[in-house]
Amino acid sequence: MNRRSFPVCACRSSAATARTVTATVHIGAPPERVYEYFTQPEAIVRWIGEYALLEPEPGGRFTLDVKGAPVRGRFLRFDPRARHRLDPLPGQA
C-alpha cells in the first residue's frame, strides 16, 4: 500500500473548549481494510505516519507521529467489521 491508498476527509470538526477538539474523519475504504492499518504499526507508518505504537483493543494505546506532530489516544471501539473510535488523550488532540 502507498500513502495515497485511502483518501482521508475530515467531515466534521468542532472546538468544544479551548483545550478539547472533537473531529470525525471519514476514510474512503471499508472498515475491514482500515482495521489492517490500525493493527499493524508498519502499515500505518507506510500510509501516514513516521512512528507508531498500537495496542488495538478497547482501552489500548494509540501512538502515532505524523509530520512531527504527536497523535496520542486510546482505542474506544475496535471491530474489523465496523467503524473504529479513538479517544485522544488530554492535550494531544
Number of domains the chain is built from: 1
The answer to whether residue 93 is domain-embedded is: no
| Position 80 in a domain | yes
Nearest alpha carbon to residue 26 among 6, 4, 5, 53: 6
Q: What is the pLDDT of residues 38-70, one digit of tens each?
A: 899 999 999 988 999 999 888 899 999 998 888
- Tell me the pLDDT tens digit for each residue of 4-28: 344 443 333 344 444 556 667 788 8
Residue 59 lies in a domain: yes
Which residue in this structure is represented by grid cell 507506510? 46
Task: Tell me if 13 is assigned to some domain.
Answer: yes
- What pLDDT score does 63 carry? 92
Which cell goes with 81? Answer: 467489521
- Separation between Cα atoms, residue 34 and residue 82, nearest integer Å: 10
Report pLDDT digits (tens) over 63-84.
999 988 888 888 888 778 777 7
Q: Which domain holds residue 19?
A: 8-88
CB-based contacts of 4: which residues, under 8 Å, 6+ apart? none
